[in-house]
Amino acid sequence: MVRRNPWATNALDAFVGNCIGTGIKPQAMHPDAATREQVQALWLRWTDEADASGLTDFYGLQALACRSVMEAGECLVRLRPRLPKDGLSVPLQLQVLEAEHLPTNLSQVLPTGNYIRAGIEFNGIGKRVAYHLYREHPGDALNPFLSADPVRVAADYVLHLFRPLRPGQLRGQPWLTQVLIKLYELDQYDDAELVRKKTAAMFAGFVTKNAPQDSLLPEVNADANGVAETSLEPGTLQVLLPGEDVKFSSPADVGATYETFMRVQLRSIAAGMGITYEQLTGDLTGVNYSSIRAGLLEFRRRCEAFQHQVIVFQMCRPIWRAWIDAAIGSGALPSLKDLTPYYDVKWIPPGFAWVDPLKDIKAQIMAVRAGFKSRAEVVSEQGYDAEEIDREIAADNARADDLGLAYDSDPRKESNDASATSGDASVRHSTADSATEA
């Protein structure tokens, strides 16, 4: 359905674009500033080498995994350690696998006491210890290396991504499950209305006459049954014989209820997939600032929940730990007795752009000045690293000072807005001093 239905495709694109965007990026939390910079620089080099297929970078793999979770309900990411001779900055790569690599019909009890359910091997206390995966996609019938025997892979090297919907759930559920039949039938209805419209646009006439041997209109040719076909030229004045008549077809039109019916059905589909109607269809008719903001707020809450509960927790955090271990093992990072500071990381999702950014920026400024949030938190909400922003600002200021340049954007300089702010502050301080003296 995703590959042939435009609404399903657009729904997945909208969610992936908002949830992943340019990537959920890590910010190392090591207490030493020099070590943090070293870790971030090494990570940035490795992101271009992360994909075992060489098709995209680490953040492209995030988008691919997110899309697979929506479409198939689940996704597998395999950690592939590499050799030093491979020439990678960190000897680790990632392989994203479709859910079909994990057989759903493989369930058995093993002699070791472990048991397999839906292709996942558990130990006696219910912990996932291994995944039994097909080497090649079972649906690729033209692959000469296709094998029917799955291979056991330790759970330490496999990440199983899916959205848990109930306790004890083993496999994921596709996000189109609730709307799959509705999408199919709505597609059929829309196609039928399109055919009806095409039929209504056809101009056809039927001639009835008492004497079949008489020619009413100029005959062009005859069909296989000998019935003559006639044509009508623009501006023709045709005299009809007594008793003869010309009738034109008038097929039923689509009707005035088509648009309303489609809108109601598409809203139901959007609700079933967890996105807004406007994102599903691109139709912004009747939307105002308040309504679009309310819809986006609800949608972004769902995005944030999925980002942190699935993408970050199930994918990003295990990959970060495996990457740190591989980097230290290869000597790319200095080894420490306690690796906990290396493992500490903050994942920053992409920032959301608002309909009216001026109002939101003013609200952020007021929140920071009132002490309700930190400036670093505001920067993180926009999808950036506060330390990196500070370094860039310092570099900009130093370069401007060296060249003797003054910009309104420099908060150290007095600008119109800054003067107004300073004036307001002076008034507040004067009022406070007067009150104290009184």
Q: In whole angstroms, give the CA distance from residue 207 to residue 213.
A: 13
The mean pLDDT of the chain is 84
> pLDDT-derived band of residue 255, with 50, 70 and 90 as boundaries?
low
| Residues near 218 by beta carbon (within 8 Å), at least 6 away in sequence | 230, 231
**Assigned token pair, 345:** 């990381």
Where residue 119 falls (left for φ over 0; alpha for ψ -120 to 50; beta otherwise) is left
Task: Give the model confidence (pLDDT) of 93-132 as tens digits.
Answer: 999 999 999 999 999 999 999 999 999 999 999 999 999 9
Kindly state the average pLDDT of the residues 146-166: 92
Predicted TM-score (pTM) of this structure = 0.76
Type of residue at 403: L
Over 60: is that where the pLDDT of 422 sits?
no
What SS3 class is residue 438?
coil
Task: Give the model confidence (pLDDT) of 25-84 as tens digits.
Answer: 999 999 998 999 999 999 999 999 999 999 999 999 999 999 999 999 999 999 999 998
Q: In whole angstroms, give the CA distance from residue 408 to residue 390.
A: 18
- Domain borders along the chain are 6-175+299-348, 203-233+240-250, 353-437
CA-to-CA dists, residue 19 to 59, 65, 215, 293, 317, angstroms: 12, 12, 70, 17, 17
The burial of 114, by beta-carbon neighbours within 10 Å (0-12 exposed, 13-18 middle, 19 or more buried), is given as middle
Over 70: is that where the pLDDT of 221 sits?
no
Q: Residue 59: what pLDDT?
A: 96
**Assigned token pair, 352:** 């959301």
CA-wise closest residue to 321 among 336, 341, 305: 341
CA-wise closest residue to 159 among 94, 218, 207: 94
Q: Residue 421: what pLDDT?
A: 44
User: By the 8 A CB rule, do 100 and 138 touch?
Assistant: yes
Over 80: is that where the pLDDT of 184 sits?
yes
